[in-house]
Amino acid sequence: AQSVAQPEDQVNVAEGNPLTVKCTYSVSGNPYLFWYVQYPNRGLQFLLKYITGDNLVKGSYGFEAEFNKSQTSFHLKKPSALVSDSALYFCAVRDGGGGYNKLIFGAGTRLAVHP
């Protein structure tokens, strides 16, 4: 069965420092991977996706993610964190077994960026 793990409940970073939010996955077949962000009382906003091709994916708001097949990881990164990046981040994988648009989400990682 497809699954996604986000090993950290919370990540704390000082403003201006680089940030990494970790995600590992387990899928059969080719992984379709996504990152979403959720601000309080809001829905999820799409950040970026990996389908195929270049292992470094660039997304919205200066975020990028590195796909590593050997380590089955898809970590989210940003070179310089902003206080406004503080939010809940979700990694997701398409459920290839179920097909279509069913996403399986990780538990989420709360990012806190301190001034």
Partner 1 sequence: KAGVTQTPRYLIKTRGQQVTLSCSPISGHRSVSWYQQTPGQGLQFLFEYFSETQRNKGNFPGRFSGRQFSNSRSEMNVSTLELGDSALYLCASSLTSGSGYNEQFFGPGTRLTVL
Positions in the binding site for partner 1 (CB under 8 A): 32, 34, 36, 41-46, 49, 51, 90, 92, 94-96, 98-108
Closest CB to partner 1 among 14 and 107? 107
For 5, the enclosing helix (H) or strand (E) is strand 3-5
Residue that the structure tokens 């097909």 belong to: 99
Closest CB to partner 1 among 81 and 94? 94
Nearest approach in angstroms of CB 89 to partner 1 is 12
| Phi/psi of residue 56, nearest 5 degrees | -100, 115
Q: Is the dihedral angle over the CA atoms 48, 54, 56, 62 positive or is it negative?
A: negative
Nearest approach in angstroms of CB 41 to partner 1 is 8
Classify strands 10-14 and 109-114 as parallel, antiparallel or unpaired: parallel
Closest CB to partner 1 among 53 and 115? 53
Closest CB to partner 1 among 78 and 94? 94
In order of 5, 18, 36, 71, 85, the CA distances from 61 in angstroms are: 23, 14, 12, 26, 9
Nearest approach in angstroms of CB 14 to partner 1 is 28
Nearest approach in angstroms of CB 112 to partner 1 is 18
